[in-house]
Structure 1
Amino acid sequence: MAAQIALGAGQILLGVRHGGLLDGRLVGDAGDRLAQAWIGAALHRRRPHDAVLSEEAEDVGDRSSADRVWIIDPLDGTSEFSHGTSDWAVHVALTVDGRPSEAAVAIPARDELFRSDTIGTVGGPLTGRIAVSRFGGSYESHHVANTLGLQRVSIGSAGAKAMAVVRGDVDAYVHAGGQYEWDNCAPVGVCAAAGLHCSRLDGSEIIYNQRVPYMPDFVICRSEIAGEVLAALDTVW
């Protein structure tokens, strides 16, 4: 279900950008609105008893007390989407008792779909690279890069950065600038299923469906360097 929703919403978003008929803020607003409407309708039809937390919908009811909660970002990287790049994504995850149970991340402009139920374990040689924001990244990410000697690679949205680790393009993604649960729940679900290390910057477990859905920091990295990454963060976090 998560994969079907992520793929379908991605097709809608590609349609929104079709022909360049909309641009700038107009295309971003239309993408957010239309993807949310379709995802909301699909979940209401197929999973009517599950709670939903989405960036583009009002957080109503006592969602934080529910056992099963879908955490959605219909369009992760609205700025990248609006500017015509490929570094944007659709995030769909089902959490059970605060942990991602099923997750999917679509990167429609690259025709990619990553799903937790079929993803293989990330392997191969380390790249010596770390994903950072196009705006330069946080102090923490730069500290990890400097300590481990990692080359910085600028990538757009949170989902695109996380899937770069899954794809094997980079070895780590360190975030300390503040996000919400919908920004990283599905990426963390996919990355954990792929055998990558996922935690808060202090090494503690990431727990979702909090009453206030603010997720300020996390690290996703190859398991081979997790100890070094956390040790570096321990000196500044």
Structure 2
Amino acid sequence: MTDTFHSDRTLLEEAAREAGALALSFFRRDCQSWSKEGGSPVTEADFAVDRFLNETLLAARPDYGWLSEETADDPARRDCDAVFVIDPIDGTRGFMAGDERWCVSLAVVRDGRPVAAALYAPALDRLYTATAGGGAHAEGEAIAVSSRREVREAAIGGPKGWFRHDTMQRLGARHAPYLPSLAYRFALVADGSLDGAFAKPRAHDWDLAAADLLVHEAGGRLTSVDGQSLLYNRESLRHGALAAGNAVLHPELLAAVHGVIRDEERAGQAA
């Protein structure tokens, strides 16, 4: 199976670079956009990249399932041994604003977990790849999570509002600059640029699958608030609050998330 994982990673890597080039052809240009149900934006670039990836990847692996943010969900994916989990452009708002920190996020999931991944930030020309049991790499070089052992003054990415809570103030971590792409936020944990990161509830499979494998193969942990690894390609595609970091910091980061959730619940009850 390891050979299959590596073959899939190579396929994803090549597709991610081509998809990135296609997305760049729309970047910082007059790109048509719409609001999806719920208010999140989508652009003609998202749709173009989604079509390209769908045609390219399924032509190479016709027996794989398909799950993408910009494709209507087909429940048949759950019966497939392997499924592509795709976000054509993660960080669409940043893409529309001309921010370079967006990415194309591709993963193959088997038995609920990602086994091959490619995450490409085209405007930065930075490619991350990973295979289950084969490590994580950026531009072909092995990467690893931060070795920091103290959470105070650690660089942590996450929702701006969370860092105003007393729980986060007591944690003493530094709030890293905002990133429009959740996948890229976790990729920066994988390469040690960030010491840790949080995510609010309601992130989807396509936001997380590739970055999840990167973090784990780089020696870190990305889990739900109960400390469990995430499962993908289920009926429900949404996840709860998340924390990522190295094995030393991760318990403190999880405790901080629990504290924020308690703070928000109390604030809601008092309102």
**TM-score in same-fold range (> 0.5):** yes
Partner of 1:230: 254
* Alignment equivalent of 1:129, drawn from 155, 172, 177: 155
Task: Give the secondary-structure state (helix, strand or coil) at the position aligned to 2:120.
Answer: strand
- Work out the CA distance in 1 between the residues paired with 2:166 and 2:80: 38
Q: Give the TM-score, by structure 2 length.
A: 0.78
Could you tell which deviates more after superposition, 121-130 or 8-17?
121-130
1:147–1:232: 8 Å Cα contact kept in structure 2?
no
Q: 2:210 aligned with 1:186, yes or no?
A: yes
Q: 1:156 aligns with which of 166, 175, 180?
A: 180
| 1:4-153 correspondence runs (5 A) | 4-17=14-27, 20-23=28-31, 25=33, 29-117=43-131, 118-119=136-137, 120-123=142-145, 126=148, 128-133=154-159, 136-138=160-162, 145-153=168-176
| 2:162/2:168 contact within 8 Å kept | no
Q: Deviations over 1:151-181 (max 9, x none)?
A: 1112221022112212322111111231111
Question: What's the secondary structure of 1:62's corresponding residue?
Answer: helix
Instruction: Provide the C-alpha distance between the structure 2 equivalents of 1:58 and 1:23, rounded to a whole number of angstroms.
Output: 22
Q: Is the 8 A contact 1:24 1:82 kept in 2?
A: no
What is the TM-score of this pair, normalised by structure 1? 0.88
Q: CA deviation at 1:144?
A: 6.2
User: Quick one: structure 1 residues 97 and 86, their matched pair in 2 at CA, closer, same or farther if it must change by over 3 Å?
Assistant: same
* 1:129/1:143 CA distance change after superposition, 3 Å: farther
CA distance in 1, matches of 2:240, 2:251: 21
Q: 1:22, CA displacement in angstroms?
A: 1.3
Matched, 1:198 2:209: no
CA RMSD of aligned residues (A): 2.3
What is the Cα deviation at residue 224 of structure 1? 2.4
Contact 2:227-2:254 at 8 Å conserved across structures: yes
Instruction: Tell me what 2:12 maps to.
Output: 2
Do the aligned partners of residues 144 and 32 (structure 1) sit closer, same or farther apart at CA in structure 2, a change above 3 Å counting? Answer: farther
> Which amino acid is the alignment partner of residue 148 of structure 1?
L
> Aligned partners of 2:221, 2:78: CA distance in 1, in Å?
26
The structure-2 alpha-carbon separation of the partners of 1:233 and 1:124, relative to structure 1 and needing over 3 Å to count, comes to closer
The structure with higher relative contact order (CA 8 Å, sep 6+) is 1
The amino acid of 1:170's aligned partner reads L
SS at match of 1:72: strand
Change (3 A) 1:88 1:12: same
SS at match of 1:130: strand
Seq. identity, % = 26
Aligned residue-pair number: 232
Question: Cα deviation per residue 1:170-215 (whole Å; 9 max; x = unaligned)?
Answer: 1111112311110111111111111111111110121111112112
Aligned amino acid, residue 124 of structure 2: R
Q: Which runs of 5+ in 2 are unaligned?
A: 1-10, 35-40, 262-271
